[in-house]
Amino acid sequence: MWKPDRHSRQPLYEQIADHIEQRIAYGEFPPGSLLPSERKLAAELGVNRSTVIMAFDELRATGIVERRTGSGTRVSTTKWEIAPKHTPNWKRYAQGGQFLPNLPFMRKIREALTRDPSLIDFASGELAADLAPINEIAALMSEHRYTSYLGYDNPQGYIPLRQALVSYLAEHRNIRATEASILVTSGSQQSLYLITQCLLSPGDAVAIEDPSYCYSLPMFQSAGLRLFRLPVDPYGVHPEDVRALYKKHRIKMVFTNPNFHNPTGTVLAAERRKQLLEAASELALPIVEDDPFSLTAYEGTPPSPLKSMDEIGSVLYIGSFSKIAASGLRIGWMVAPREIAERLADARQQMDFGLSVIPQQVAAQFLSSSYFAPHLKRLRMQLLFKRDLLVEALNKELPDLIRFAVPSGGLHLWCKLVPEIHDGRLLEEGIRRGVVFVPGSVYGSDSGFVRFTFARARTEDIPAGVAKFAEALRAAIGG
């Protein structure tokens, strides 16, 4: 990002005016479009708002931009158009389209993090840089040559990676799969997207957990699905609810995240797993099992996936590297009957022509390397440490104002706020104090819950982050 040069002899506001004029001339802001607000630009450029106002005044004086009270500053349409020419109404195009924009809270959080990367981040559901196997992957990349082939990939994914995944699934997840039943994706998100786009039709009813990560994804609404809820209690969802929803709404698919459920951290109880699979087989109902977290189990043996008990093939299994290694590799996978894997691969070809071979080669090497097991061990220890730090800080700062169950795996802690609180207000108070987290309503919950991700923040920032959150909560109660 460009920043004004504080050592230059040209005044800051003039530098800024020149910079904005260039961005307009280069087409970033076409004639008629709205410029960012003075406040936003000031934050982006690291200057006082008054400096931006002076820059805008300068631009207005030359007729490059116009200001109408209450509607912000716009690029002038007269100055930039000699003849009566019309730029497309890009704003209307941006608002159109069948694919829905992200939820306002999610955009707010992302904008806050972009504006100020020093915010303590309890919101992003990913690993901190020091939890990812950066050195291991760098070592592998320097040991191997990766570019023997740089053409389009096999539609279902790079074959050696699928072979490595067959071994990984057998060894770590007790899942028997074949190369042809694996589809490599760019992550769980793409797996879910392909399922909602290609196996379901607008108007289809599906069951998702309540709360659920899926509610945070407008992709489910964009696909025109009717969503029905399976409440999650401390032992997970009730298989009876699946039967009831089938009876009432003829649901066509069940989406579940049985191990260290996002956001609640719940593990589906053994008896319910059996019953859930029985219900699925009785109703010929597909279950989509999202299993990104199970290998993070801090202690003991990680819980088995439903898929490992799936004798008749009811389960589409989704896995990913993002929460157990590195989200930046963009590597996930699905295990599915061959005709489903082929159908989704075919559709993905049309959407993006498949994945880059380089990260797939890296992932295959990493899975088969002697680095993988020690990395997992270290990850689990470090997550446990971070979880304990968060729990301790929450108990210290907010002993009476929150309630939570301590998760035994995953990246998140789900908190019930005792006082009645307005979600949006709380987030704003948090951002103002330098901390972000995800309001529970994003996951379909009523107001009054918060998801804390403890994996992403630097360990040393966790206590300070909780202190800031506690301040924000008290301010939101007071207000």
Q: Considering only residues 345-384, where is the footprint of a copy of itself by CB under 8 A?
A: 346-347, 349-359, 362
Residue in 33, 304, 368, 459 binding a copy of itself, rule: CB under 8 A: 33
Residue in 339, 400, 420, 460 binding a copy of itself, rule: CB under 8 A: 339
Contact between 27 and a copy of itself by CB under 8 A: the answer reads yes
Helix (H) or strand (E) holding 450: strand 449-453
Contact between 189 and a copy of itself by CB under 8 A: the answer reads yes
By C-beta, is 341 or 402 nearer to a copy of itself?
Answer: 341
Distance between CA atoms of 90 and 92, rounded to whole angstroms?
A: 5
Contacts of a copy of itself in 206-245 (CB under 8 A):
217-219, 222-224
Provide the minimum distance between the beta carbon of 277 and a copy of itself in the complex, in angstroms, as a whole number: 9
Select from 2, 355, 366, 392 the least CA-distant residue to 187.
355
Contact stretch for a copy of itself (CB under 8 A) within 53-61, 66-74, 189-197, 380-388: 189-197
Contact between 63 and a copy of itself by CB under 8 A: the answer reads no
The first and second tokens of residue 11, run together, are 């005044």
Strand ranges for 103-259 from DSSP E: 120-121, 182-185, 205-210, 226-231, 254-256
Strand ranges for 330-395 from DSSP E: 332-335
Q: Write phi, then psi, for 260 (nearest 5 degrees).
A: 55, 55
Residue in 31, 160, 424, 463 binding a copy of itself, rule: CB under 8 A: 31
Whether 20 contacts 59, CB under 8 Å: yes
Whether 422 contacts 447, CB under 8 Å: yes
By C-beta, is 330 or 468 nearer to a copy of itself?
Answer: 330
Contacts of a copy of itself in 6-25 (CB under 8 A):
22-23, 25
Contact between 275 and a copy of itself by CB under 8 A: the answer reads no
The first and second tokens of residue 208, run together, are 């998702």
Provide the minimum distance between the beta carbon of 315 and a copy of itself in the complex, in angstroms, as a whole number: 8
Contact stretch for a copy of itself (CB under 8 A) within 90-98, 390-398, 403-411, 457-465: 90-98
At 255, the amino acid letter reads F
Distance between CA atoms of 10 and 15, rounded to whole angstroms?
A: 7
Contact between 62 and a copy of itself by CB under 8 A: the answer reads no
Contact between 406 and a copy of itself by CB under 8 A: the answer reads no
Sketch the per residue contact string, 138 through 167, with a copy of itself: x for CB under 8 A, - otherwise.
x--xx--xxxxxxxxx-x---x--------
Provide the minimum distance between the beta carbon of 377 and a copy of itself in the complex, in angstroms, as a whole number: 19
Cβ-in-10-Å burial (0-12, 13-18, 19+) of 77 comes to middle
Q: What is the DSSP string of 426-446?
A: HHHHHHHHTEE-EEGGGGTPP
Distance between CA atoms of 186 and 359, rounded to whole angstroms?
A: 10
Contact stretch for a copy of itself (CB under 8 A) within 178-186, 233-241, 392-400, 466-474: 178-186
Q: How many residues sit close enough to a copy of itself to count as binding (CB under 8 A)? A: 118
Contact between 199 and a copy of itself by CB under 8 A: the answer reads yes
Residue in 73, 186, 259, 445 binding a copy of itself, rule: CB under 8 A: 186
By C-beta, is 231 or 337 nearer to a copy of itself?
Answer: 337
Provide the minimum distance between the beta carbon of 313 and a copy of itself in the complex, in angstroms, as a whole number: 3
Residue in 231, 234, 313, 419 binding a copy of itself, rule: CB under 8 A: 313
Residue in 330, 375, 380, 468 binding a copy of itself, rule: CB under 8 A: 330
Contact between 304 and a copy of itself by CB under 8 A: the answer reads no
Whether 37 contacts 82, CB under 8 Å: no
Distance between CA atoms of 36 and 470, rounded to whole angstroms?
A: 32
